[in-house]
């Protein structure tokens, strides 16, 4: 029973950064912008987040540093890919390379330092309930925030007029422009939201997951977040399933190895990727088929003035 609780806690901890980063990228892509720089924005968020928390002693300020850093990185992308209409794929890749280098530079002075990580919630009477107590009432703020965030994004995209306009920009920027919507401004805001989320997801790593900073500590999580957006077919609900499934299989394969299940560990390590692909493929098969990608995703838009 205790082990089950420990596993669920570990799954939530592992899934949260993926969920946050992927939520941001989902919004950016829904507006028609493919930003491959998630990994770069995340790692800069991690370095700045740690710096903020270390300098001020506050996890909250650290998280804000991460958000601001990610947003600034995304503005570089917006300037190039939206302002100057440079190829989005190339710009995104360049952003990742820039971010990896920049984070090493920013974080160089903080390597080897320690901070007190985010404190989990504790409600007397509720947090002690066996099995579900710590899972529901004993998480750190990032976990609750990530769930609130994806619900808010779902509500925004499908239940508000602004969300509808954002999706319209992603599906047909020419029509949206003809109707008088400021396509580039909307896209810039969406990209900034994506950057803020990636920065926060990056900051989560040194602030809650492993409370120290080391260059390269995102270790490819930004790329997984990008893949999750595609696999979720750009739908928030499926994104939640994908992120938690990926986290769950990651943790369970570690436990399976500890129990000595005689399956090669190399296969087990590949399992999270396999499981996520299979489940999400099945999900999209079950409903009406066809591509659900925003029709204008990744295409350059230059308004005629």
Partner 1 sequence: MRKSLLALAAGLLLAGSVSAASAADKLKVGFVYLGPIGDLGWTYQHDLGRQALVKELGDKIETTYLENVPEGPDSERAIEQLVRAGNKLIFTTSFGYMDPTLKVAKKYPNVHFEHATGYKRNPNMSTYSAKWYQGRYIQGLIAAKMSKSGVLGYIGSFPIPEVVSGINATILAAQTINPNIKVKIIWANTWFDPGKEADAAKALIDQGADVIMQHTDSPAAMQIASERGKLAFGQDSEMIQFGPKAQLTSIINSWGPYYIERVKAELAGTWKSEDTWGGLDSRMFAMAPYTNMPDDVKKMAEDAQAAITAGKLHPFKCPIVGQDGKPVECKGGGHLDDGQILSMNFYVKGIDDKLPGK
CB of 119 to partner 1, least distance (A): 12
> Is residue 131 close enough to count as binding partner 1 by CB under 8 A?
no
Closest separation between CB of residue 254 and partner 1, Å?
4
Kindly tell me which of 156 and 212 has the beta carbon lying closer to partner 1.
212
Does position 217 interact with partner 1 (CB under 8 A)? The reply is: yes
Which residue in 214, 230, 277, 279 binds partner 1 (CB under 8 A)? 214
Q: How many residues bind partner 1 (CB under 8 A)?
A: 45
Q: Which of 24, 140, 133 is nearest to 73 (CA)?
A: 24
The 3-class SS string of the chain reads CHHHHHHHHHHHHHHHHHHHHHHHHHHHHHCCCCCCCHHHHHHHHHHHHHHHHHHHCCHHHHHHHHHHHHHHHHHHHHHHHHHCCCCHHHHHHHHHHHHHHHHHHHHHHHCCCCCCCCCCCCCCCCCCCCCCHHHHHCCCHHHHHHHHHHHHHHHHHHHCHHHHHHHHHHHCHHHHHHCCCCHHHHHHHHHHHHHHHHHHHHHHHHHHHCCCCCCCCCCCHHHHHHHHHHHCCCCHHHHHHHHHHHHHHHHHHHHHHHHCCCCCHHHHHHHHHHHHHHHHHHHHHHCCCCCCCCCCCCCCCCCCC
Work out how close the CB of 47 gets to partner 1 at its nearest, in angstroms, rounded to a whole number: 11
- Asked if 258 is part of the footprint of partner 1 (rule: CB under 8 A), the reply reads yes
Tell me the C-alpha to C-alpha distance, in Å, between residue 2 and each of 82, 132, 134, 211: 51, 10, 11, 24
Q: Is 301 in the site for partner 1 (CB under 8 A)?
A: no
Please choose, out of 52-60, 61-69, 133-141, 210-218, the segment that lies near partner 1 by the rule CB under 8 A: 210-218
Among 57, 83, 216, 303, binds partner 1 (CB under 8 A): 216
Q: Which stretch binds partner 1 (CB under 8 A): 12-20, 194-202, 235-243, 281-289?
A: 12-20
Span near partner 1 by CB under 8 A; candidates 22-30, 254-262, 283-291, 297-305: 254-262
CB nearer to partner 1: pick between 137 and 204? 204
Which of 262, 286, 288, 289 touches partner 1 by CB under 8 A?
Answer: 262
- Measured from the CB of residue 123, what is the shortest distance to partner 1 in angstroms? 21
Interface contacts to partner 1, rule CB under 8 A: 2-3, 6-7, 10, 13-14, 17, 97-98, 100-101, 104-105, 107-108, 111-112, 114, 205, 209-212, 214-217, 219-221, 250-251, 254-255, 257-260, 262, 264-266, 268-269
């Amino acid at each position: 029973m205790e082990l089950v609780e420990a596993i669920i806690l570990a799954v939530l901890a592992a899934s949260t950064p993926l969920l946050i980063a992927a939520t941001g990228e989902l919004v950016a892509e829904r507006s028609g912008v493919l930003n491959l720089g998630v990994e770069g924005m995340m790692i800069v968020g991690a370095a700045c987040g740690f710096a903020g928390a270390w300098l001020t002693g506050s996890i909250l300020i650290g998280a804000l540093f991460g958000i601001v850093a990610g947003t600034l990185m995304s503005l570089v992308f917006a300037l190039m890919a939206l302002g100057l209409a440079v190829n989005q794929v190339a710009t995104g890749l360049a952003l990742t390379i820039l971010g990896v280098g920049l984070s090493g530079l920013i974080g160089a002075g903080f390597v080897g330092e320690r901070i007190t990580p985010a404190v989990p919630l504790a409600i007397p009477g509720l947090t002690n309930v066996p099995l579900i107590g710590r899972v529901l009432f004993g998480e750190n703020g990032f976990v609750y925030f990530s769930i609130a965030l994806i619900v808010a994004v779902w509500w925004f995209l499908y239940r508000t007029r602004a969300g509808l306009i954002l999706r319209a920009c992603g599906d047909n920027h020419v029509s949206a422009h003809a109707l008088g919507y400021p396509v580039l401004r909307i896209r810039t805001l969406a990209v900034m939201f994506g950057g803020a989320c990636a920065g926060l997801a990056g900051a989560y790593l040194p602030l809650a997951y492993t409370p120290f900073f080391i260059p390269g500590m995102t270790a490819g999580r930004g790329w997984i977040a990008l893949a999750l957006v595609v696999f979720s077919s750009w739908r928030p609900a499926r994104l939640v399933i994908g992120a938690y499934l990926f986290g769950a299989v990651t943790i369970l394969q570690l436990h399976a190895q500890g129990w000595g299940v005689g399956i090669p560990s190399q296969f087990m390590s590949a399992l999270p990727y396999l499981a996520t692909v299979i489940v999400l493929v099945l999900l999209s098969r079950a409903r009406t088929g066809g591509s659900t990608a925003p029709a204008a995703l990744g295409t350059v838009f230059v308004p005629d003035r």
